[in-house]
């Protein structure tokens, strides 16, 4: 399986994602934001970080990068595109997934492990994953997902919510919401479910010495689903 990770000025999880993808069998290429062409890929990842220093609005400037037109075309033709953290922020700025990401409710950067419940498994990201709940890691300042009531209705009708913040047993309650996201939303799909944006970093959970190993489950499932 071939993957591409886009590096924007200010990306800082691009290497971590490269390490994770390769560990689970992807042949990964790093792609520079100013390139026009996307290499042939089965998966494109927009990594975390602070593209353009988060100036103007998180993800806003990166969404206008030269490479992004190719990424948008790739997504619109059904290609798998995953945005993690700042990558999620870039995705909402392109409109590939609905909604916006506001500043965290308590106005503070938050870095810690969280539990997320998988809401939908009829897609190539989570299909065949045995677990209902995964322990992931978040590290962000603007992860407070928000959308209009109409958008929310549409998202729910189309079953576009990918993962929600919850406790270790999968209970979705306010107290397990780290950033104030509407409905505890941690990740969301486009209508066709080939585009996934999420705040948690699975690439930081890929061996027992790190924060945990549920990221390994995620990547193993992902590559198998793409085969």
Selecting among 93, 135, 142, 203, the annotated active-site residue is: 203
CA 67/CA 195 separation, integer angstroms: 16
CA 182/CA 170 separation, integer angstroms: 17
φ/ψ region of 22 (left if φ > 0, alpha if ψ in -120 to 50, else beta) reads: alpha
Q: Which CB atom, from 74 or from 165, has the smaller least distance to other proteins?
A: 165
Tokens of 51: 């593209």
Q: Which CB atom, from 131 or from 141, has the smaller least distance to other proteins?
A: 141
13 catalytic residue (yes or no): no
Pairing of the two strands 144-146 and 100-102: antiparallel
Q: Which CB atom, from 138 or from 161, has the smaller least distance to other proteins?
A: 138
| Least CB distance to other proteins at residue 118 (A) | 22
Q: Which CB atom, from 19 or from 121, has the smaller least distance to other proteins?
A: 19
| Least CB distance to other proteins at residue 9 (A) | 6
**Sequence-separated (6 or more) residues with CB below 8 Å from residue 89:** 58, 59, 83, 101, 142
Selecting among 58, 85, 147, 166, the annotated active-site residue is: 85
| Least CB distance to other proteins at residue 144 (A) | 15
Selecting among 33, 137, 140, 201, the annotated active-site residue is: 201
| Least CB distance to other proteins at residue 108 (A) | 5
154 catalytic residue (yes or no): no
Report, as residue numbers or ranges, the catalytic residues: 85, 201, 203
């Amino acid at each position: 399986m071939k993957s591409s990770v886009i590096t924007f000025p200010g990306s800082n999880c691009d290497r971590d994602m490269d390490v994770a993808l390769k560990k689970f069998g992807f042949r990964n290429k790093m792609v520079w934001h100013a390139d026009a062409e996307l290499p042939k890929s089965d998966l494109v990842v927009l990594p975390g970080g602070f593209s353009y220093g988060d100036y103007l609005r998180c993800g806003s400037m990166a969404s206008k990068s030269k490479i992004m037109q190719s990424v948008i075309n790739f997504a619109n033709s059904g290609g798998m595109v995953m945005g993690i953290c700042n990558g999620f922020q870039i995705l909402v700025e392109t409109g590939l997934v609905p909604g916006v990401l506001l500043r965290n409710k308590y106005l503070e950067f938050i870095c810690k492990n969280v539990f997320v419940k998988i809401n939908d498994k009829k897609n190539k990201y989570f299909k065949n994953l045995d677990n209902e709940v995964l322990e992931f890691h978040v590290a962000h300042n603007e992860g407070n997902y928000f959308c209009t009531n109409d958008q929310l209705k549409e998202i729910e009708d189309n079953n576009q919510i990918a993962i929600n913040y919850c406790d270790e047993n999968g209970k979705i309650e306010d107290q397990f919401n780290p950033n104030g996201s509407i409905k505890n939303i941690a990740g969301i799909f486009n209508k066709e479910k080939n585009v996934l944006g999420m705040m948690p970093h699975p690439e930081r959970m890929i061996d027992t010495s790190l924060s945990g190993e549920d990221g390994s489950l995620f990547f193993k499932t992902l590559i198998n689903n793409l085969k």
